[in-house]
Amino acid sequence: MTHLGIAFVGGLVGTVAMDAIKYVGHALKLIGGVRMDMLGRWALGMMRGKFVYDDIHHAPAFPGEVPAGWLFHYLTGGLVALAYPFFVWMLGQPLTLAQMSNAVIFGLLTSVLPWFVVYPAFGKGWFGSRAPKAARPVVTSLVSHTCYGAGIGAVFLALV
């Protein structure tokens, strides 16, 4: 398997890790998370030319939002991870060295995606500044994306 194939699988595993920590953290009321119906609404809306919402929770629903949300979530996780080998290459390191630390740093860096793309597109502002306090958007992104990076690193440790 190529490094890009390993990265894609790592992104899927990282997305599972992200979902697991969000499930546990949300159950303990420590972190929030994006609802799959809202992610699906956004993905289906983008297919119809709607990219930004004043408040996605008040936008009309589409049939199949939840499965679309899950599909979009995992495809995005796999595709974003394709940048990981290039990230390590830019650091001047081989993909066999310090996988976990590089991967966790990469995962942390991917927190910019919800801060500057997802939250604003949902109508929640930069860094989720207009999200409910209980959602803890900044902390939620940092925690979940750290786990995402760790999942990528684990796959590279296992397969490279």
The answer to whether residue 102 scores a pLDDT higher than 80 is: yes
Task: State both tokens at 76.
Answer: 């995005």
Q: What torsion do the CA atoms of 4, 9, 12, 17 make, to the nearest 10 degrees? A: -110
Residues 38-91: tens digit of each pLDDT: 999 999 999 999 999 999 999 999 999 999 999 999 999 999 999 999 999 999
pLDDT category of residue 21 using cuts at 50, 70 and 90: very high
Q: What is the mean pLDDT of the chain?
A: 94
Enumerate the domain spans of the chain.
3-159
**Range list of β-strands (E), 70-122:** none
Residue 67 CA from chain centroid, whole number: 16
